[in-house]
A = this chain, B = another copy of it.
């Protein structure tokens, strides 16, 4: 049986997001690992799949290659709408996407491995300075995100209501990533509570880096 193929790396947050979405929608996939620290995503065979050399990519049964985690998740939502990762109404969908994008656009791209490596090479940044950089950009978004979640009656057990969706997927992957940099979560009780709710969902727990075959 031909299956969809996920090209990813256990520790990559964007990979965690996509694994979470695939698991929530109960879609089986073949797992192919590309070791980022060893530069395996920059080899010719992977660049032929995704010229950006970034993970994740998803190869569909017919060979169609999809790239960019959020674009792929929107595709999955359109083609496999149940269970939904976005609410039904346009305004509510906009809220969930905005919460997801606050993490996926304002934190993660700036705290990516390639950025942290470049800080070290271009500015001789110490490990301490890199950790401070990471924490700074988390705080810049998590402070207002905490207020936005805590103040809005639409926030439930998860970011929007009582079932996990797109925003939770991004939050879950980011908080897992934060742990590697020792980010103190005590200023963000609502975010921490939603993270724990996510971690209790088997589909999300199974997407965590330490549960992947290439985990170290």
Contacts and interface: CB of A to CB of B under 8 A. Distances in A.
Contacts of A133: 118, 122
| Tally of this chain's copies | 2
A16 to B, nearest CB: 16
Interface in A62-97: 64, 66-68, 70-72, 74-75, 78-79, 90-91, 93-94, 97
A105 B98 contact: no
Interface in A33-87: 47, 51-54, 60, 64, 66-68, 70-72, 74-75, 78-79
A27 interface: no
A193 interface: no
B51 A64 contact: no
A122 B115 contact: no
B75 A93 contact: yes
B72 A94 contact: yes
A125 interface: yes
Interface of A: 47, 51-54, 60, 64, 66-68, 70-72, 74-75, 78-79, 90-91, 93-94, 97-98, 100-102, 104-106, 108-110, 114-115, 118-119, 122-123, 125, 129, 132-133, 136, 140-141, 144-145, 147-148
27 contacts: A52-B144, A52-B145, A52-B148, A53-B144, A54-B106, A66-B91, A66-B94, A66-B98, A67-B98, A68-B97, A68-B98, A68-B102, A68-B105, A70-B101, A71-B97, A71-B101, A72-B94, A74-B94, A74-B97, A78-B90, A78-B93, A104-B105, A105-B109, A109-B110, A114-B140, A118-B133, A118-B136
